[in-house]
Structure 1
């Protein structure tokens, strides 16, 4: 499935420098706990469980999780990948102590990359911002897989509409974000997420917390 430039740009356009300064408050401490019912400490624990000392983060947001997670080494190799240069710059500055690599890339097409592959790939709150239904946007997994070492783990989370419980507030806010182009998850459901992960990875695990699915799998 092909995506238009407008569709691809819509989900990341909101991440301006001003919005990124408010991201932690609006998303991590208000929406996660009170709207999506998936508190940020639960997502951070997901990072702690899976992140390695050779890590690629895709769709980096504000860089909060990388700033606060427990890497298994004092000097990890950390790479950041996003289509939005503002997000990359914001997150890179936040974790400057790790000297991160930065890559402006579109994960909905083959990813040009000449560096060494990674042992973990994080895709946190990325899928619900990508256009298309869950089966179509899962092509991102195909394009990320060549960047992973054999046995590497891919993990992350995404907000779903089907197969999960959503409060009235969650239904309203998702509808608003979808109408505004920030989200594109009207056809994202739990069963399809599990199926698409299972097609590509082994040892797949999906846990639902609120209306978020926390997932992992190995190449």
Structure 2
């Protein structure tokens, strides 16, 4: 377990907004409203990606409220799920939500090497993680280096992130991103589509990135 006070404060800022109280509103505000109306990437499109790529042995990074794990279709009835997040409130909320699967919980900063002992996973999900991490993509893409040792041969890494460059952003998206970046909730003011593709391509052999609204949905093997 990693205590938040031991982590760089810029990393802490990106996840500190997710308290038990704000998590009560997360599904409505982010998944119900912001995705469809502001980011122009309806939550259903993100769920489709989970349904296509989630495996029976899955690691979820940046777990939010656990909504996607609660609603997606696993290939069997008893998947082995591990939740990894720095935020204890998110881990507790997601673990309780999918308690029927008896998930394992790991509290860690994905920007640092992960010291937890974990067997390889057939799928690793990073939904809406990268835009909350500090620094440019060339730096925060190190998360893939830290996760690759836990990816089984033939396994898949998939996820999504909100971009500022190389995508079309509505006026409301620009305003909200600017506000979130100022508050330290987001750190994606220089995150671009080509940067994301490049950082994935140097680490994986098969990379697919598609844009929906100002979100980039990626799949890498």
Shorter-normalised TM range: over 0.9
Aligned-residue offset at 1:113: 2.2
Please point out which of 15, 30, 36 is paired with 2:18. Answer: 15
Structure 2, unpaired ranges of 5+: 1-6
Matched, 1:37 2:40: yes
Matched, 1:48 2:51: yes
- Name the SS for the 2:174 alignment partner: helix
Q: Deviations over 1:68-93 (max 9, x none)?
A: 00000100000000000000000000
| Distance in 1 separating the partners of 2:100 and 2:45 | 25
- 1:173-192 maps to which residues of 2 (within 5 A)? 173-192=176-195
| Distance in 2 separating the partners of 1:66 and 1:79 | 11
| Distance in 2 separating the partners of 1:184 and 1:66 | 25
Structure 1, unpaired ranges of 5+: none
TM-score (norm 1): 0.97
The aligned residue for residue 100 of structure 2 is 97
Please point out which of 204, 212, 215 is paired with 1:212. Answer: 215
The aligned residue for residue 31 of structure 2 is 28
The aligned residue for residue 168 of structure 2 is 165
| Distance in 2 separating the partners of 1:93 and 1:202 | 36
| Distance in 2 separating the partners of 1:167 and 1:80 | 33
| Distance in 2 separating the partners of 1:92 and 1:164 | 34
The aligned residue for residue 67 of structure 1 is 70
RMSD of aligned residue pairs (Cα, Å): 0.7
| Distance in 1 separating the partners of 2:43 and 2:118 | 31
- 1:190-201 maps to which residues of 2 (within 5 A)? 190-201=193-204
| Distance in 2 separating the partners of 1:32 and 1:8 | 23
Q: How many residues align?
A: 215
| Distance in 2 separating the partners of 1:202 and 1:79 | 25
| Distance in 2 separating the partners of 1:11 and 1:91 | 18
- 1:140-155 maps to which residues of 2 (within 5 A)? 140-155=143-158
Aligned-residue offset at 1:150: 1.4
Q: Deviations over 1:93-147 (max 9, x none)?
A: 0000000000001111110121211000000000000000011000000001011
